[in-house]
């Protein structure tokens, strides 16, 4: 009730004192809503569309035709009049249309509706508002005056790992159109024709898929941006400049009308600001401006966040002064993964001499693939709409699950001051899985936080559980009973979601975490039974029975984490890692310790089972997860440039001796093996193992033959070059016998 009241008061403020009506089903929240007429009435079973002839084929008209909530019938009593400013059909309300790009005016009465846009996009968004408002078979009589705060809003498919499927991209684009996001930037890191083979045209089949995505985006009011990433191996010569222009022209011939050029996550020759500026000015002058129907060019710089910016080196200021002012510059904030505020916007805008185009790295999880992020989008300033030229989210590789956060991001970028992330999260969950919203909400409560990570970016998770957790750990039996109830709730939610067929793609994405959630819930039941048994020793199950089950589930959680249930490249499966699981582990340990003391027993009280751990003086590597598939022990990659200081080391320790059969790792730089030393620790002695590349141009580092059959409990890699090194950490694996 407090949340509803606060939202109503906020809308009243935005309406300058006029009585307003909240159209609760509409996303994003409109800028101004004014109640009128008869309030809420039944929606018509059918309506007829009235518009100028030139508007009959517009995407707004097609959206009305395709609507499933209300049928279109030429003689229906209820009329929907639509048009763009200047159209005869909406001439009577022309003065009421907001004079802002993509703005619209909408009037809904019990007799008919009028949708008038300042442009074609605004008309389309007004129709989307009308369609959303009748989704539950009712109409709210009101007038709406609406427009977006941020000119460009949407997503960048810019994560590392498994790219979205074609089907997922089509679904995403439809989702953007419904929620008034107007940008989808196609830039998957693992598309070879985007990055590693950027000079090469797409094969016919892949070109057709991109063409289909672009056409689908047009029908949904979305600008399909195609991004190219030449910086990894570009030569600053006419041949590569012409190759870039030829590739862009090829994409233009496919129908693409929005373009981006990326220079992120590189170093060396491709990272020179003056060269980048000169190249992009050439592209802007000779390609973008020569085609009158394309959007402004976007570039992602090499120094794309404040923590990496060498202010004294002048990279950003060079872009600001030398690059054409109509080229948009992307920015992730004070670090790679960071929320955006007023001060950080002022800092970057002063240096690039234009408004930054925000690339927000949330809910992307390519650096924490053992987690799935189902929490709300929050933390960005509500006073920075006028400081940015665009705002795009970098989502997860799990496209359906990403929609929960993206729902809120659509609202945030449209109407910042009215943004309520908690309300949007609830609505986003319902939008993704309406039939089983409660189960998804329960599960999502334990899948918000990222866990410890190299970027230090965390999210709230389990705050509502803390009083219960504190009570249980204090020995309060009611607290234990409440904690037990939470575990049962999680267990039931998991079972419901595992059987839900309404969104099979979401179920596929969630499945590893759902199975682990079941383990965590069962573990919680067993641990709570142990704690309760100390108060009631004759209860069932006995302490020993519950203890054995809890220990078995610890092993099962580890084994599931390293099973084929995982998605490709997924290093583990973490659920409830911020409050619930740590609470259960603490309760397990303190209960076992107390039981041992009381009964003279020696049950193992360690709560977590993991035979491998990492220690590193390279901060970006210290928190990477270790996973096992068969005999392969793998460390998850780090997806940015690694600043490996001289003398710094990376160590993996096992809880027992391992017999090594082989090992390889890729630091992304040919010939770099000579700068590093590998050592194995056996019986208190470090023994060196030789490192080599099989080919001069191969960045993969291999070990000498002496590794085979060696036994050790630790391995350590140290930078022995005498200088700091910039490398990647693309993959790391050793094989045990």
What's the length of the chain?
737
Burial of 237 (0-12, 13-18, 19+ CB in 10 A): exposed
> How many CB atoms are located within 10 Å of the residue 426 CB?
17
Contact at 8 Å (CB) between 155 and 136?
no
Q: Which of 87, 149, 265, 522 is catalytic?
A: 265
- Tell me if 186 sits within 8 A of 210, measured CB to CB: yes
State the DSSP string of 557-576: HHHHHTSTTSPTT------S
DSSP state string for 482-510 = HHHHHHHHHHHHHHHHHH--SSHHHHHHH
Rg (CA), the chain: 28
- Is 265 labeled as catalytic in the residue annotation? yes
**Angle, vertex CA 150, rays to CA 186 and CA 3, nearest 5:** 110
Contact 484, 527 (CB under 8 A): no
CB 377 within 8 A of CB 348: no
C-alpha distances in Å from residue 282, one per residue of 193, 250, 317, 355: 22, 17, 19, 21
Query: Which residues neighbour 173 within 8 Å (Cβ) at sequence distance 6 or greater?
Result: 184, 213, 216, 217, 220, 222, 224
Q: Report whether 113 contacts 106 (CB < 8 A).
A: yes
List C-alpha distances in Å: 245 to 221, 225, 230, 248, 571: 27, 16, 11, 5, 39
3-state secondary structure at position 277:
helix
Q: Which of 91, 38, 83, 76 is nearest to 60 (CA)?
A: 83
3-state class (DSSP) for residue 268: helix
Q: Where are the beta strands (DSSP E) in 275-319?
A: 298-300
> What is the C-alpha to C-alpha distance for residues 222 and 188, in angstroms, rounded to an integer?
18
Nearest to 518 by CA among 542, 539, 493, 541: 493
Token couple for 236: 């600053």
Structural element, H or E, at residue 253: helix 238-253
Q: Distance of alpha carbon 617 from its chain centroid, rounded?
A: 28
- Angle value at C-alpha 484, between 483 and 486, nearest 5 degrees: 65
In whole angstroms, what is the distance from residue 701 CA to residue 697 CA? 11
Eight-class DSSP state of 721:
S
DSSP-assigned beta bridge partners for residue 72: 47
The structure tokens listed for 312 are: 């004294």
Nearest 5°: the CA angle 421, 379, 22 is 25
Cα 453 to Cα 464: distance, rounded to the nearest angstrom: 23
Q: How far is CA 436 from CA 139, 373, 400, 430, in A?
A: 25, 18, 15, 8
Active site residues: 265
């Amino acid at each position: 009730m407090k949340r509803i009241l606060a939202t109503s008061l906020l809308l009243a403020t935005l309406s300058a004192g006029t009585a307003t009506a909240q159209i609760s089903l509409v996303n994003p929240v409109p800028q101004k809503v004014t109640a009128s007429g008869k309030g809420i009435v039944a929606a018509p079973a059918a309506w007829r569309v009235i518009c100028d002839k030139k508007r009959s084929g517009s995407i707004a008209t097609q959206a009305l035709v395709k609507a499933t909530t209300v049928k279109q019938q030429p003689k229906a009593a209820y009329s929907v009049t639509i048009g763009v400013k200047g159209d005869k059909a909406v001439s009577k309300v022309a003065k009421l249309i907001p004079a802002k790009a993509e703005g619209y005016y909408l009037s809904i009465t019990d007799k008919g509706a009028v949708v008038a846009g300042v442009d074609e996009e605004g008309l389309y968004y007004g129709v989307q508002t009308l369609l959303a408002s009748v989704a539950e078979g009712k109409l709210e009589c009101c007038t709406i005056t609406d427009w977006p705060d941020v000119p460009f809003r949407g997503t960048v498919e810019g994560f590392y790992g498994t790219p979205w499927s074609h089907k997922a991209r089509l679904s995403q684009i439809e989702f953007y159109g419904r929620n008034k996001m107007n940008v989808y930037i196609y830039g998957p890191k693992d598309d070879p024709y985007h990055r590693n083979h950027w000079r090469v045209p797409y094969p016919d089949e892949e070109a057709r898929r991109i063409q289909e995505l672009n056409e689908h985006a047009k029908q949904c009011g979305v600008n399909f941006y195609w991004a190219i990433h030449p910086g990894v191996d570009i030569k600053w010569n006419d041949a590569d400049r012409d190759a870039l222009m030829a590739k862009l022209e090829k994409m233009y011939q496919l129908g693409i009308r929005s373009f981006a050029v990326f220079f992120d996550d590189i170093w060396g020759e491709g990272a020179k600001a003056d060269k980048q500026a000169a190249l992009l000015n050439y592209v802007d002058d000779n390609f973008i401006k020569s085609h009158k129907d394309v959007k402004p060019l976007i570039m992602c710089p090499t120094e794309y966040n404040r923590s990496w910016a060498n202010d004294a080196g002048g990279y950003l200021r060079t872009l600001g002064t030398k690059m054409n002012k109509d080229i948009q510059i992307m920015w992730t904030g004070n670090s790679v993964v960071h929320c955006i505020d007023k001060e950080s916007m002022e800092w970057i805008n002063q240096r690039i001499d234009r408004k930054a185009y925000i690339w927000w790295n949330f809910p992307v999880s390519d650096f924490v693939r053992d987690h799935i992020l189902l929490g709300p989008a929050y933390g960005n300033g509500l006073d920075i709409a006028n400081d940015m030229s665009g705002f795009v989210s970098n989502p997860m590789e799990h496209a359906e699950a990403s929609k929960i956060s993206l729902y809120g991001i659509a609202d945030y970028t449209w109407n910042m001051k009215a943004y309520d992330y908690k309300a949007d999260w609830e609505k986003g969950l319902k939008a993704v899985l309406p039939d089983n919203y409660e189960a998804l909400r329960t599960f999502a409560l334990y899948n918000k936080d990222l866990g410890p990570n190299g970027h230090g970016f965390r999210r709230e998770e389990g705050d509502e559980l803390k009083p219960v957790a504190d009570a249980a750990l204090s020995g309060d039996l009611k607290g234990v009973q409440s904690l037990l109830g939470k575990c049962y709730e999680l267990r039931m939610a998991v079972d419901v979601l595992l059987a839900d067929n309404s969104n099979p793609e979401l179920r596929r994405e969630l499945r590893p975490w759902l199975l682990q959630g079941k383990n965590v819930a069962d573990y919680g039941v067993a641990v709570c039974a142990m704690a309760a048994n100390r108060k009631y020793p004759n209860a069932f199950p006995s302490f020993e029975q519950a203890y054995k089950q809890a220990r078995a589930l610890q092993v099962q959680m580890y084994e599931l984490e390293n099973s084929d249930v995982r998605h490709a490249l997924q290093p583990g499966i973490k659920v409830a890692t911020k409050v619930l699981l740590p609470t259960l582990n603490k309760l397990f340990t303190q209960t076992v310790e107390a039981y041992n003391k009381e009964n003279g027993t020696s049950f193992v009280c360690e709560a977590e089972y993991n035979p491998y751990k990492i220690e590193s003086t390279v901060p970006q590597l210290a928190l990477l997860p270790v996973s096992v598939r068969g005999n392969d022990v793998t460390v998850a990659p780090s997806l940015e440039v690694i600043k490996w200081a001289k003398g710094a080391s990376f160590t993996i320790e096992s809880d027992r001796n391992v017999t090594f059969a082989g090992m390889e790792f890729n630091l992304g730089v040919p010939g770099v093996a000579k700068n590093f030393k590998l050592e194995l620790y056996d019986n208190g002695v470090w023994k060196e193992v030789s490192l080599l590349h099989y080919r001069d141009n191969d960045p993969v580092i291999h070990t000498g033959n002496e590794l085979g059959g060696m036994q050790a409990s630790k391995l350590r890699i140290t930078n022995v070059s005498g200088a700091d090194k910039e490398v990647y950490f693309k993959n790391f694996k050793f094989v045990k016998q």
